[in-house]
Structure 1
Amino acid sequence: MISNLTIKNALSIAIFCFSILGFSQHNRLEKRITKAVDKHTESAIQLIKKTVNINSGTMNFDGVRAVGKLYQKELDQLGFKTELTNGDTYGRAGHLIATREGKKGPKFLMIGHLDTVFELDSPFQEYTMLNDSIMKGPGVADMKGGDVIIILAMRALHDAGLLDDISIEIVMTGDEEKSGTPLELSKKDLIDAAKRADIALGFENGDNNPKTIVVSRRGSTDWKLKVTGNPAHSSQIFTEAIGAGAIYETSRILNEFYIQLAKEKDLTFNPGFIIGGTNLNPDADGTGGHVSGKTNVVSQETIVRGDLRAVSLEQLKNAKETMKMIVSQNYPKTNAELTFSAGGYPPLSLTEGNTKLLGYFNTVSEDLGFGSVVAVNPRNAGAADISFTSEHVEMAIDGLGLTGGGDDHTINETGNLNTVATQAKITAVLMYRLVNSKF
């Protein structure tokens, strides 16, 4: 007779063996993914070089579309349904959208952008290699390297026979660096995709440190302060009839902004320019203007323009209310008006889901031998397209793109090509594990 103890022991051994087999299969599939990345890394780097040499400054619509067509061809080969949209309604080139319907697991949104800050009149048009791994080139890090990492990760999952399992929507916008207007049309495709997704992965380059990932980004909006006073001979300033003048009132307001808000963590409010005097003629594009005045005349008008960056919607709302309250407390015989631009980039708020996703990313990075990864200080990560997913997805992280370079948006922009394979491997394995509940 077989004892109950013997049966229990046999059952335990069977479960253990099954677990080992499952782990072994899981391990083999991940190795298949990483080997596929290695196999295609060189062709991915060649694609980066090719697209970096195509000018795709935001306002060069032909160039933006040309880069989009190259990426579209790559994704078509992997079985994605692709579309290059028309951006006429918001004054831009349009976006590349690619989708695949999977069999199981969460729905992923992967975010890139096709445009750069380097327009056709920029002196920075082609890449150069500073050594065997550091590429200097327009948009290499921000963010053609990140776009290609998306494609390389998809190719690795395809070669490993796993891509059919995963529901993915890729949105590469054509106006991240200079958004079209109205913003609700410019970002509609991205927001709609976020509403369909569970997890958003952004492939910007974060703070260019491969050991960091973005779990929150500050949003950005513009503000304009217009102040008026009574013009008069300077000898009459501070009198009951004339008051303090526009420039003194402007100084009071900006000083109070600083006193009341400057110490708040992760909040900034930068006045980009100020003009004031007797006769003021601002430029139509809002970047400057001309003014005249005399030392013996009380200033009649000033204009200040700046931006406001906050790490959460609540912080943004509170800052606006404080600024408006300060503006309302005018010096005698002056008047001030503060307005905020419509739209702007919302903050990517720090959430429990984002923090959990960073933990998963860190686990994969450590398991693959690439070391630990921590969260970026949000002060070191500017506004980006992933912010439009906030409040729509359960989890979101950014900074998965080409890293290890520096000086983005300048003629010294660089990227470390050694991070192409690393980021693609972590991305692909992360997606595989999330789909198959391996965390």
Structure 2
Amino acid sequence: MFRFFLSIVLTLFLITSSFAQKDKTERKLVQSVDKHTAYYTDLLKELVNMNSGTMNFEGVKSVGMRLKSEFEKLNMDATWKDGASWNRAGHLIAETKGNKGPKLLLIGHLDTVFEPDSPFQSYEMLNDSIMKGPGVADMKGGDVIILMALKALKKAKLLDQMQIKVVMTGDEEKSGSPIEASKKALTDAAEWADIALAFENADGDPKTIVVARRGSSSWSLKVKGNAAHSSQVFTDKVGVGAIYEASRILDSFYQELSKEENLTFNPGVIVGGTQTTFDANTNSGTAFGKTNVVAQEVTVQGDIRAVSKEQLAMAKAKMEQIVNENYPGTSAELTFKAGGYPPLASTKGNHRLLSLYNEVSEDLGFGTVEAVNPRNAGAADVSFTAGLVDMAIDGMGLSGADDHTINETGDLSKLAVQAKRAAVLMKRLK
């Protein structure tokens, strides 16, 4: 037992010694994170207790103002961009004053899915390290990690020289409209930047990082048939009715596209019958029909997620082809909603950035980091940097579980780990 214990101690000593000898500045970054972890842990608790559901504009801005004061303590220029023109609270933007090294864009968001009427409003410590709380992992923990890393760079006398822009949006969970206005702060920053680092919590595992995210958009299917007595269904005059045609289309989508890797398309709501109503704003409707009447109309609303623009274009073309191969006596129209979240494709630059992040993690003694399967990474703000920066990764935030539910948790023991990785990565990119 003693030999085993001694072996562990020596291993840790060698890792620490090797890292310390490699770069004294990096050792200062690590020490700074450790020194200030308690302060930022308290800040995270404070932020989690501030409701910032997307549609709680006052709450979102209050979180933004609280973080704005922290950026200003780091001698960064911080501004609040009002979101009235896209019907949301707004965004927080902070930037350094330096002009050396690559231009780095750090991405976070202020809002959560928990509105003021949610029963989930404050944090609770489940044990010494696991915090249960609204937005602790998605993504107030990531916002705090950004600050921790920048604080360490400041203490090491690096931050003031660097070119860093931070964008924390106020509508990641429910984008404002028009989306071009809602995401303009992000796309403008991405056009300025060389590298994008985003601080969502990936799939909750600190051993993974996101190099590709699937885009997300929505579609609507409207089907028409001939209303008639059911005794005349399948005749040349009446045809098969709208419900049969909608069923054919949806089944063909599944049969012909479901095996395409990383592509999904989900019909989320369907209304059909002789007479129907549908409100796209609320995704709800009514239907009236009789068993002895052929259905006249069907509306289906769904989403589609693809890992690249090319895959999305292929899927859309195939879906439109299927829709146009109508059953007798029917017609159908498929429309794709403009906007949505673009895909973040898996690029060589993104994988190169992952490789650098992995080297940092191994040098710090935190082990290897691998890419997340895009199927496990939903749409996020980093996708709006696609094609605009040379390299981008996401998932640098706080490990957690059960995002978007009243059981959401974050692992506070990983705050320092993630901040150290981020600070050393940014230092090496410099």
TM band (smaller chain): over 0.9
Match runs of 1:345-424 below 5 Å: 345-403=341-399, 405-424=400-419
Contact 2:20 2:26 in 1 (8 A): no
Residue 18 of structure 1: aligned partner:
none
1:160 deviates by: 1.0
1:104 deviates by: 1.8
Residue 305 of structure 1: aligned partner:
301
Three-state SS of the structure 2 residue aligned to 1:254 is: helix
Deviations 1:183-211 (A, max 9, x none): 00000010000000000000000000010
Residue 433 of structure 1: aligned partner:
428
Match runs of 1:310-325 below 5 Å: 310-325=306-321
Contact 2:106 2:165 in 1 (8 A): yes
Q: Aligned partners of 1:300 and 1:327: how far apart in 2?
A: 17
2:176 maps to 1:180:
yes
1:285 deviates by: 2.0
Mind listing any 5+ residue stretches in structure 1 that lack a counterpart? 1-22
Q: Aligned partners of 2:99 and 2:154: how far apart in 1?
A: 14
Contact 2:72 2:78 in 1 (8 A): yes
Change (3 A) 1:284 1:392: closer
Residue 71 of structure 1: aligned partner:
67
Deviations 1:362-420 (A, max 9, x none): 000000000000000000000000000000000000000001x2110000000100111
1:45 deviates by: 0.6
Q: Aligned partners of 1:252 and 1:308: how far apart in 2?
A: 18
Q: Aligned partners of 2:230 and 2:376: how far apart in 1?
A: 45
Q: Aligned partners of 1:285 and 1:356: how far apart in 2?
A: 42
Change (3 A) 1:24 1:236: closer
Q: Aligned partners of 1:87 and 1:108: how far apart in 2?
A: 24
Three-state SS of the structure 2 residue aligned to 1:85 is: strand
Three-state SS of the structure 1 residue aligned to 2:254 is: helix
Three-state SS of the structure 2 residue aligned to 1:152 is: helix
Residue 217 of structure 1: aligned partner:
213
Three-state SS of the structure 2 residue aligned to 1:399 is: coil
Deviations 1:347-375 (A, max 9, x none): 00110000000000000000000000000
Three-state SS of the structure 2 residue aligned to 1:67 is: helix
Match runs of 1:32-181 below 5 Å: 32-181=28-177
Sequence identity (%):
63
1:283 deviates by: 2.9
Three-state SS of the structure 2 residue aligned to 1:106 is: strand
Q: Aligned partners of 1:388 and 1:419: how far apart in 2?
A: 27
| Structure 2 counterpart of 1:433, one-letter code | R
Three-state SS of the structure 2 residue aligned to 1:171 is: strand
Change (3 A) 1:101 1:26: farther
Three-state SS of the structure 2 residue aligned to 1:265 is: coil
Mind listing any 5+ residue stretches in structure 2 that lack a counterpart? 1-18
Count residues with an aligned counterpart.
412
Residue 6 of structure 1: aligned partner:
none
Contact 2:20 2:27 in 1 (8 A): no
1:333 deviates by: 1.1
1:166 deviates by: 1.1
Largest Rg, 1 or 2: 1
Q: Aligned partners of 2:153 and 2:101: how far apart in 1?
A: 15
1:339 deviates by: 0.6
1:286 deviates by: 4.1
Residue 3 of structure 1: aligned partner:
none
Deviations 1:219-272 (A, max 9, x none): 000001000100000000011110010000000000100011000000000000
Structure 1 residue ranges (4+ consecutive) displaced by more than 6 angstroms after TM superposition:
none
Q: Aligned partners of 2:282 and 2:23: how far apart in 1?
A: 57
1:284 deviates by: 4.8
Deviations 1:96-118 (A, max 9, x none): 00011323211000000000000
Match runs of 1:186-205 below 5 Å: 186-205=182-201
Residue 272 of structure 1: aligned partner:
268
Deviations 1:279-312 (A, max 9, x none): 1011352412110100000000001111000000
Q: TM-score scaled to structure 2, two decimals? A: 0.95
Three-state SS of the structure 2 residue aligned to 1:105 is: strand
Match runs of 1:231-246 below 5 Å: 231-246=227-242
Deviations 1:91-137 (A, max 9, x none): 00000000113232110000000000000110000000000000000
Residue 14 of structure 2: aligned partner:
none
Q: Aligned partners of 1:115 and 1:237: how far apart in 2?
A: 52
